[in-house]
Amino acid sequence: MEQNQTPVQERPPEGVRLLPPEETPGPELPPKPSRPAKRPPRRGTRLSLPALAAALAVLVAVLALIKAADPFAPAPEESGDPGVAGIPEWIEIRLLPENPYSRPGDPLEQVNGVVVHYVGNPGTSAEQNHGYFENLASTGETYASSHFLIGLNGEVLLNVPLDEIAYCSNQRNADTISIECCHPDATGEFTAATYQSLLSLTRWLMETYGLDSGQLLRHFDVTGKECPRYFVQHPEAWEQFLADAAE
Ligand SMILES: [Zn+2]
């Protein structure tokens, strides 16, 4: 430690001050205190290589941490191949990064239905639910995602390409497209804007994949789960939705 003090103070400060003391090659330094002042270039060269390497390593690590922790950083895939041709422009393509928990990348080889869900978290936005799916890639806390999220204002996000499976509808993941809808309160009833977007999206999917309204399902119809709650507690509202979709 003491031997290091003199050269550190006399040479140009940049690289060395970033170094933890134990990484400075102190024992290799000649003990004469007058040398550093007379021959700074040589000494500087010997010190700056490991110093720069260490500083760069620290910098890279810090930048990586900042990027990983920054919620406003753009997602690795802000857009991409939606997996189907002719996707309407009102669908925002926001593909999740491929990961085992929310976008496994397994092919969806056939589409025999559309399954409707509610997010079950009153007042949350499409953006927040999208962020939840995205974070699963790093938290790994569960397996969940939906192809689509519809927000309280009717915005439509595509999270998973339509030629890949999503983790939303249990035993029907392998042959259906899933839509999760946001809702303002615990009744699970959708806003008018959400309902209209659900209708538009469902009609487009029926046309694109040649489906009829008999192939529109509630999550409840697959597993018996109370999802989407309002359409389970109000079967007549679900029947109305099927009629609207068939128009
Ligand atoms: Zn559901």
Q: What is the pLDDT of residues 95-131, one digit of tens each?
A: 999 999 999 999 999 999 999 999 999 999 999 999 9
Q: Specify whether 61 is located in the same domain as 153.
A: no
Whether residue 84 lies inside any domain: the answer is: no
Whether residue 85 lies inside any domain: the answer is: no
Q: Specify whether 33 is located in the same domain as 139.
A: no
Whether residue 60 lies inside any domain: the answer is: yes
Q: Is the pLDDT of residue 14 over 50?
A: no
* Cβ-contact 100, 65 below 8 angstroms: no
Which pairing describes strands 113-118 and 91-93: parallel, antiparallel, or unpaired? unpaired
Q: Specify whether 106 is located in the same domain as 54.
A: no
Which of 72-76, 101-105, 232-236 bottoms out in mean pLDDT, i.e. has the lowest? Answer: 72-76
**Which residues, chain by chain, have CB under 5 Å from ion ligand 1?**
117, 219, 227
* Cβ-contact 165, 102 below 8 angstroms: no
Calculate how far, in angstroms, residue 1's C-alpha sits from the geometric centre of ligand 1: 63
The domain total for the chain is 2
Q: Is the pLDDT of residue 41 over 80?
A: no
The band of 61, judged by pLDDT with boundaries at 50, 70 and 90, is: confident
Rounded to 5 degrees, what angle do the CA atoms 112, 194, 123 make?
Answer: 115
Q: What is the CATH number of the domain that holds 133?
A: 3.40.80.10
Q: Is the pLDDT of residue 30 over 70?
A: no
Strand partners of residue 150: 156, 181
* Cβ-contact 127, 188 below 8 angstroms: no
Q: Specify whether 109 is located in the same domain as 64.
A: no
Whether residue 77 lies inside any domain: the answer is: no
Q: Is the pLDDT of residue 18 over 50?
A: no
- Print the domain residue range for 53: 2-69
Q: CA 86 to CA 52: how far, in whole Å?
A: 52
Q: Specify whether 170 is located in the same domain as 63.
A: no
Overall pTM surpassing 0.85 (yes/no): no
Q: Specify whether 152 is located in the same domain as 118.
A: yes
Calculate how far, in angstroms, residue 218's C-alpha sits from the geometric centre of ligand 1: 8
| Among 132, 133, 154, residue whose Cα is nearest residue 145 | 133
Q: Specify whether 140 is located in the same domain as 53.
A: no
Calculate how far, in angstroms, residue 146's C-alpha sits from the geometric centre of ligand 1: 9
Q: CA 4 to CA 17: how far, in whole Å?
A: 12
Beta-carbon contacts of residue 201 (< 8 Å; ≥ 6 apart): 91, 148, 150, 156, 179
Calculate how far, in angstroms, residue 67's C-alpha sits from the geometric centre of ligand 1: 32
Which of 21-30, 52-61, 77-86 has maximum average pLDDT? 77-86
Calculate how far, in angstroms, residue 71's C-alpha sits from the geometric centre of ligand 1: 26
Calculate how far, in angstroms, residue 133's C-alpha sits from the geometric centre of ligand 1: 14
Q: Specify whether 22 is located in the same domain as 63.
A: yes
Calculate how far, in angstroms, residue 150's C-alpha sits from the geometric centre of ligand 1: 13
Strand partners of residue 181: 118, 150
